[in-house]
């Protein structure tokens, strides 16, 4: 894989997760475009990040524009908007594009804090998978990476990225591309149903952050 030729389109890329992943993949050399419902917001997000990008500056556009040329369409909107956003963009996806889902469905409960809100399909990734045409591969990744770390170019990363998906070839391509990001190690987490574990690990990390008064809990698989 030539990372300089990889096109990444970040759907809803003006949020912290979206900007963070846009930054990290752009720092790794990929061609990244931030998408938004309004092109101006995408432009502002890209302008904020580009001082830290050496090679290909981050581009911008409306969501449908950035997915039209993307090898990876990175879905970074909050889970509650993910299905509708994705379904609306299906006609615009470049043939052969891989959808990367980073969403985690959570609910807030008074006194308890953040809770995992399991979709009926078992996980957010399976919920979204059920709403995509069969020939569009969907891969779960980056679900356990802390957004505020990703978005800060001065933060050194030291986390594993658990990568799951039913299409082995698509999963392998995402794994290969993540290897170019400094400080992140992709781990093959197998079938998409692994997202049931991975999404809950995110909520577990949020609880650990709260109990230990830290902000950046993430995971490493040991023994690998």
Residues that bind its own copies (CB under 8 A): 112, 115-116, 146, 158-159, 162, 187-191, 193-194, 196-198, 200-201, 203-205, 207-208, 211-212, 214-224
Largest separation between any pair of C-alpha atoms in the chain: 49
CB of 71 to its own copies, least distance (A): 24
CB of 206 to its own copies, least distance (A): 10
Q: Which is nearer to its own copies, 45 or 184 (CB)?
A: 184
Q: Which is nearer to its own copies, 73 or 162 (CB)?
A: 162
Give Cα separations from 192 to 112, 180, 196, 197, 219 (angstroms): 28, 23, 8, 10, 19
Distance CA 42, CA 11 (A): 10
Q: Which is nearer to its own copies, 11 or 198 (CB)?
A: 198
SS3 109: strand
Centroid of chain to Cα 32:
13
CB of 160 to its own copies, least distance (A): 8
CB of 36 to its own copies, least distance (A): 29
Question: Rounded to 5 degrees, what angle do the CA atoms 177, 102, 220 make?
Answer: 70
């Amino acid at each position: 894989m030539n990372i300089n030729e990889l096109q990444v389109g970040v759907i809803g890329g003006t949020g912290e997760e979206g900007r963070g992943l846009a930054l990290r993949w752009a720092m790794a050399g990929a061609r990244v475009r931030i998408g938004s419902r309004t092109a101006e917001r995408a432009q502002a997000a890209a302008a904020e990040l580009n001082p830290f990008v050496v090679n290909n500056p981050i581009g911008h556009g409306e969501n449908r524009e950035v997915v039209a040329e993307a090898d990876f369409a990175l879905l970074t909107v909050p889970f509650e908007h993910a299905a509708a956003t994705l379904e609306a963009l299906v006609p615009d996806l470049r043939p052969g594009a891989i959808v990367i889902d980073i969403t985690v469905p959570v609910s807030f409960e008074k006194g308890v804090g953040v809770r995992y809100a399991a979709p009926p399909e078992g996980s957010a990734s399976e919920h979204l998978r059920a709403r995509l045409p069969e020939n569009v591969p969907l891969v779960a990744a980056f679900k356990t990476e802390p957004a505020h770390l990703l978005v800060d170019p001065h933060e050194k990363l030291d986390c594993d990225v658990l990568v799951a998906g039913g299409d082995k070839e698509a999963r392998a391509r995402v794994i290969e591309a993540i290897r170019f990001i400094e400080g992140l190690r992709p781990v093959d987490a197998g079938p998409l149903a692994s997202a049931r574990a991975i999404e809950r690990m995110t909520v577990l990390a949020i609880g650990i952050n709260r109990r230990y008064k830290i902000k950046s809990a993430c995971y490493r698989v040991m023994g690998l």
